[in-house]
């Protein structure tokens, strides 16, 4: 009779341990896959991330927004000429160089607005280079190695049935929470790229303001915002690198539940810091 009960207990322990290890393995694989995907996606330019979407955005920008930018540029050029004339006492002190100055400024403004897309993409090419270089340095992996999992399984097999049932239930909760956090990370990364597409679509309008000193602040702030959202990818890579180091430093002990909730805490911290990367980048570059 005792042998039968022992066999049932061993079988139940094996089932519980197998279920816990399956939940934890799936949890780690989900986080590792999502974090690894971040490094790949933030290092892409808007043109490479989704060529179809980029082609649509470029067409809208050049055919819908560009004419509006041309009207704004014309207004600013006329306003600038009026300002130059008034500043010379209504031509009482006439100097022909002011017209050459106006022609030169207008030429520069037209050149900028004509090459809006090239300038905008150059910003993200620079950001892509920085992200790729940082990716080579931040080479840490978030993966939990096989020896760590084997140690955890050995600790589980030494436990009684009651604690194993509790760990199984908590591992299910942890797995669900990590899946939610992985989805949140996905949303953050893709939302950044959508924001980039939105900013690129309106690029001709702020570029049209460079012809006037007062109005050029719009264009300057727009460029700072472009650099901010571009270098946000670098900050995201830094966050991933920090997360990888924290995960690698986790040592599984007999307190498996404490370790699991620690991983959830680190993943929550990762999601929170990813949210903050945009505001940090804008703060550093003084973009509004």
Between 99 and 272, the higher pLDDT residue = 272
What's 211's DSSP letter? G
What is the token pair recorded at 76?
A: 């600013």
CA distance 245 to 260: 16
Calculate what percentage of the chain has a pLDDT beyond 70: 82
Q: Largest alpha-carbon pair distance within the chain? A: 117
Pull the structure tokens for residue 48: 């490479």
Q: Do 42 and 237 meet the contact criterion of CB atoms below 8 Å apart? A: yes
- What is the pLDDT averaged over residues 70-84? 83
Q: What is the pLDDT of residue 179?
A: 79
List pLDDT tens digits, range 197-238: 999 999 899 988 887 777 778 888 898 998 999 888 888 888
Q: Is the pLDDT of residue 160 over 70?
A: yes
- Rounded to an integer, the average pLDDT of 157-173 is 78
Q: 9-18, 130-139, 203-212, 243-252: which has the highest mean pLDDT?
A: 203-212
| Residue among 76, 85, 61 nearest 106 (CA) | 76
C-alpha pair distances (Å), 280 with each of 39, 158, 229: 19, 47, 10
The helices-and-strands tally (H runs, E runs) of the chain is 11, 0
**Of 39-43, 161-165, 182-186, 216-220, highest mean pLDDT:** 216-220
Evaluate the CA torsion angle 265, 268, 274, 275 in order and state its sign.
negative
For residue 71, CA distances in Å to 99, 161, 235, 274 come to: 21, 76, 38, 39
Q: Looking at per-residue confidence, does 153 or 116 come out higher?
A: 116
How far apart, in whole angstroms, are the C-alpha atoms of residue 254 and residue 174? Answer: 18
pLDDT at 165 over 70: yes
Cα–Cα distances in angstroms (integers) from residue 105 to residues 24, 77, 98, 117, 165, in the given order: 63, 9, 10, 20, 75
DSSP 8-class letter at 287: -
Spell out the domain ranges in the chain.
2-64+116-284
Residue 156 has pLDDT above 60, yes or no: yes
């Amino acid at each position: 009779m005792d042998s039968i009960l022992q066999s049932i207990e061993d079988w139940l322990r094996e089932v519980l341990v197998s279920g816990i290890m399956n939940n934890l393995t799936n949890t780690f694989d989900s986080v590792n896959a999502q974090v690894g995907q971040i490094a790949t996606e933030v290092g892409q330019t808007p043109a490479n991330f989704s060529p179809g979407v980029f082609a649509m955005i470029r067409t809208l920008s050049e055919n819908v927004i560009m004419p509006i930018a041309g009207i704004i540029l014309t207004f600013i050029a006329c306003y600038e000429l009026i300002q130059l004339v008034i500043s010379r006492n209504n031509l009482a002190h006439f100097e022909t160089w002011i017209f050459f100055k106006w022609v030169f400024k207008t030429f520069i403004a037209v050149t900028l607005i004509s090459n809006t897309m090239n300038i905008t993409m150059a910003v993200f090419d620079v950001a892509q280079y920085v992200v790729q270089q940082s990716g080579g340095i931040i080479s840490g992996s978030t993966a939990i190695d096989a020896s760590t999992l084997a140690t955890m399984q050995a600790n589980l097999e030494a436990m009684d049935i009651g604690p194993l049932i509790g760990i199984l239930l908590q591992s299910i909760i942890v797995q669900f929470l990590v899946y939610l956090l992985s989805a949140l990370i996905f949303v953050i990364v893709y939302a950044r790229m959508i924001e980039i597409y939105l900013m690129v679509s309106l690029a001709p309008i702020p570029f049209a303001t460079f012809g006037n000193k007062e109005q050029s602040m719009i264009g300057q702030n727009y460029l700072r915002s472009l650099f901010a959202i571009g270098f946000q990818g670098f900050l995201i890579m830094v966050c991933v690198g920090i997360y990888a180091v924290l995960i690698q430093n986790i040592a599984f002990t007999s307190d498996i539940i404490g370790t699991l909730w620690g991983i959830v805490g680190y993943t929550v911290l990762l999601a929170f810091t990813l949210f903050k990367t945009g505001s940090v980048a804008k703060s550093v570059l003084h973009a509004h």
